[in-house]
Amino acid sequence: MTRGRVALAGLVIVAALALAAAIAPALPIGSPTEISKDLALRGPTVAEPFGMDDLGRSVLSRVVHAYRISLGVAVTAALLALVIGGPLGLIAGYAEGVADQIIMRPLDVLMAFPAILLAIALMSVFGTGALLVSVALAVVYTPIVARVVRAAVVATKVEVYVDGARALGATAPRLVLAHILPNAAAPVLVQASVLMAIGILVEAALSFLGVGVRPPTPSLGLMLADGRGFMLQAPWMVVFPGVAIMLAVLGFNMLADGLRDWLDPQQTGGR
Amino acid sequence: MTPWVYAARRLLLAVPLLFGMSLLVFGLMRLVPGDPAVVVLGYKATPEGIRALREAFHLDEPVLAQYLRWLGGVARGDFGLDFRQNEPIGRMILDRLPVTLELTLLATVAAALIGIPLGLLGGGRRGGVADRAALAIGLVGISIPDFWLGIMLILAVSLGTGLLPSGGFVPMSEGPLDNLLHLVLPALTLAVSRAAVLGRLTRAAVLDVVQRGFVQVARAKGLAERAVLFRHVLPNAAIPIVTVLGLQTGYMLGGAIVVEMIFTLPGVGRMTLDAVLERNYPVVQSTVLVIGAMFMLVNLATDVLYGVIDPRVRRR
């Protein structure tokens, strides 16, 4: 399979999951929150291929609805980080010197913690909830985005065509927006895809640990935490949510790999 | 720049970073809404208890004074007293640190033993069946949530076959074999995604070296492919591999929080999570700083090592 096809396969997975999540309430999969005691812990059947959980709720319906949270959190976090980290990296890379130091050194401090630890520490202060998870993730991501954008700007601004534009009298905003910024688009796109993958993993981990999304919101991490108590009687309660997380993360990683090769043919292989 | 000057310079840069980390952790915990004394004591809060805690943590002093007092203590290894357990936090961390370190170390070894051969297998013959298989394994590996992998391993191995324990910890002093058996699944859980990252990087590093002139010369002079790989390719690919292995070890310190929770290991990660869930902020602030500092120091050591091995880095 060529790299182009890997990217395409990743895109198909991501698009399919996003579509399913978007139209989840309209899908014929039942309610994610409807409790029916007599169906509790019933195994997979044709009608309910993922089985039922301890309260008799449809695991399939909960998984599909949980994608709304997973993808929603991942997208919100990545966008927030782009909006905050992008301009910071741009200014730091273009100005260099003192401005660069003032912007980047505090961001180094954020990057000096393992991502999951920083996210847990932030959530311990913020409290729980999907929006707060997005904000915590955005804080973790901002220095990453800033570094990627800064590196692209630093590498681009010494190019001859930038000098040329400057010699022709282009103003600083025009130089940055028309000549430098487009060159940051490729690495940022790859990074955004990687951040989506990490976002899905970290949201699930935080919810699993009890510092993420609040029950009864269907979240893949929460479902795993619930299922742990029933894993012998009802292994489907832990198998399917986990596979669901992996599928989404895999989709974004494949997309990132393919994009990386497509946008930067010189660099082969992964990270 | 000589290796030693480079190392000294990097170490000096770590000082302001550590300072910034302490400031961030302290500031973050002060953002908690409400009176920290009330939050920490929870439902057990009595007026006397709150007053005692306010006094012990000097909560009536200005924030700057509180910070400097805390920092001064931390610098001497004194993290203050945990009000819930009535135990010095520094001692609690020291008691739990060996568990986390042993887990991280074992997982690093496992990641290297799985990841590097995987990458060599792939990179050795680009585009072949082995390469494609290695690529696919790598992609799936980096996509597996470690906490789910842990649950699956418990389900399949511990509950399925009964060969390995599903949790708990036995200190090395009470039985080295039992100690290892209890850490096999946790270390494997922690290692898999890191091994996948390492495998992907090893492959990329090998592919990068293979296209260099000296490898072509070695092949042209008729050297066996095996000799080319081990004598010429591997030593040159080793530098990025060692670096990434170091960085992955750092990340495992974060992953240990989740793994220690699943396998009920009494490490610093679990201590952090318990403290977060109990809103025990003095403990959270200490363990987050300790884990963060270890993460930073591992990265720093890797960076210095990289610079010492590879003179090209120092020139930058």
Mutation for A interface: B39, B142, B280, most A CBs within 10 A = B142
Q: What pLDDT was estimated at residue A64?
A: 95
Assess contact for B17 and B297: CB atoms under 8 A.
Answer: no
A238 and B145 within 8 Å at the Cβ level: the answer is no
Q: What pLDDT was estimated at residue B315?
A: 57
Q: Collapsing DSSP states into helix, strand and coil, what is residue B88?
A: strand
A11 touches chain B (CB under 8 A): no
A242 touches chain B (CB under 8 A): yes
The token duo for A259 is 């994009």
A245 and B32 within 8 Å at the Cβ level: the answer is no
Name the minimum distance, in Å, from the CA of B267 to any CA of chain A. 14
Which chain B residues are Cβ-neighbours of A125 within 8 angstroms? 28-29, 31-32
Q: Which residues pair with A58 in a beta bridge?
A: A52
Q: What pLDDT was estimated at residue A181?
A: 86
Return the higher-pLDDT residue of A145 and B282: A145
Assess contact for A186 and A154: CB atoms under 8 A.
Answer: no
DSSP letter assigned to residue B82: E
Rounded distance, CA A102 to CA A134, Å? 26
pLDDT in tens, A169-185: 888 888 888 888 888 88
Q: Which residues pair with A52 in a beta bridge?
A: A58
Q: State the average pLDDT over residues A124-138.
A: 93
A105 touches chain B (CB under 8 A): yes
Rounded distance, CA A109 to CA A146, Å? 13
Rama region for B86: left / alpha / beta (φ>0; ψ in -120 to 50; rest): left
Q: What pLDDT was estimated at residue A183?
A: 82
A270 and B204 within 8 Å at the Cβ level: the answer is yes
Q: What pLDDT was estimated at residue A108?
A: 92
pLDDT in tens, A83-129: 999 999 999 999 888 999 999 999 999 999 999 999 999 998 888 89
Query: A226, A229, A209: which is closest to A59 by C-alpha?
Result: A226
A52 touches chain B (CB under 8 A): no
Return the higher-pLDDT residue of B315 and B83: B83
Q: Over 60: is that where the pLDDT of B102 sits? A: yes
Rounded distance, CA A118 to CA A136, Å? 8
A242 → closest Cβ in B152, B159, B258: B152
Q: State the average pLDDT over residues B116-135.
A: 84
B147 → closest Cβ in A109, A208, A269: A208
Q: State the average pLDDT over residues B66-88.
A: 86
A5 touches chain B (CB under 8 A): no
Q: Over 90: is that where the pLDDT of B8 sits? A: no
Q: Over 60: is that where the pLDDT of B83 sits? A: yes
Q: State the average pLDDT over residues B174-186.
A: 92
Which chain B residues are Cβ-neighbours of A118 within 8 angstroms? 292
Q: Which of A9-13, A28-32, B102-106, B283-287 has the least mean pLDDT? A: A28-32
A250 → closest Cβ in B143, B257, B284: B143
Q: What pLDDT was estimated at residue B49?
A: 80
Q: Which amino acid is at A123?
A: M
Q: Over 90: is that where the pLDDT of B282 sits? A: no
B159 touches chain A (CB under 8 A): yes
Rounded distance, CA B137 to CA B134, Å? 5
B204 → closest Cβ in A106, A125, A268: A268
Query: B280, B64, B256: which is closest to A114 by C-alpha?
Result: B256
Name the minimum distance, in Å, from the CA of A246 to any CA of chain B. 5
Average predicted confidence (pLDDT) for chain B: 87
Average predicted confidence (pLDDT) for chain A: 90
- Helix (H) / strand (E) element for B136: namely helix B129-143
Maximum distance among all alpha carbons in chain B? 85
Q: What pLDDT was estimated at residue A262?
A: 81
pLDDT in tens, A206-237: 999 999 998 888 899 999 999 999 998 899 99
Whole-model pTM: value is 0.91
B295 touches chain A (CB under 8 A): yes
B200 touches chain A (CB under 8 A): yes
pLDDT in tens, B241-274: 888 888 888 889 999 999 999 999 999 999 999 9
Q: Which residue of B has its CA nearest to A201?
A: B145
What are the angstrom distances between the C-alpha of B192 and each of A7, A224, B112, B231, B232?
A: 23, 19, 10, 28, 28
B143 → closest Cβ in A105, A106, A246: A246
B272 and A120 within 8 Å at the Cβ level: the answer is yes
Determine if the peptide bond prior to A106 is cis (ω within 30°): no
Q: Number of A to B CB contacts under 8 A, please give it.
A: 144
Q: Over 90: is that where the pLDDT of A250 sits? A: yes
Neighbours of B203 (CB within 10 A): 27
Q: Over 60: is that where the pLDDT of A268 sits? A: no
B13 touches chain A (CB under 8 A): no
Range among A39-53, B32-46, B202-216, B281-295 with highest mean pLDDT value:
B281-295
B151 and A224 within 8 Å at the Cβ level: the answer is yes
Q: What pLDDT was estimated at residue B120?
A: 87
B21 and A112 within 8 Å at the Cβ level: the answer is yes
Q: What pLDDT was estimated at residue A271?
A: 35
Q: What pLDDT was estimated at residue A270?
A: 38
Assess contact for A195 and A244: CB atoms under 8 A.
Answer: no
Q: State ipTM.
A: 0.89
A37 touches chain B (CB under 8 A): no
Assess contact for A125 and B28: CB atoms under 8 A.
Answer: yes
Return the higher-pLDDT residue of A248 and B53: A248
At residue B311 the predicted structure's pLDDT band, cuts being 50, 70 and 90, is low
pLDDT in tens, B155-175: 999 888 888 988 889 888 888
Q: What pLDDT was estimated at residue A203?
A: 96
Q: Which of A35-44, A55-64, A229-238, B302-311 has the least mean pLDDT? A: B302-311
Q: What pLDDT was estimated at residue A62?
A: 94
Name the minimum distance, in Å, from the CA of B206 to any CA of chain A. 10
Q: State the average pLDDT over residues B116-133.
A: 84
Name the minimum distance, in Å, from the CA of A27 to any CA of chain B. 27
Rounded distance, CA B144 to CA B139, Å? 9
Q: Which residues pair with B87 in a beta bridge?
A: B82
User: End-to-end alpha-carbon separation of chain B, Å?
Assistant: 10
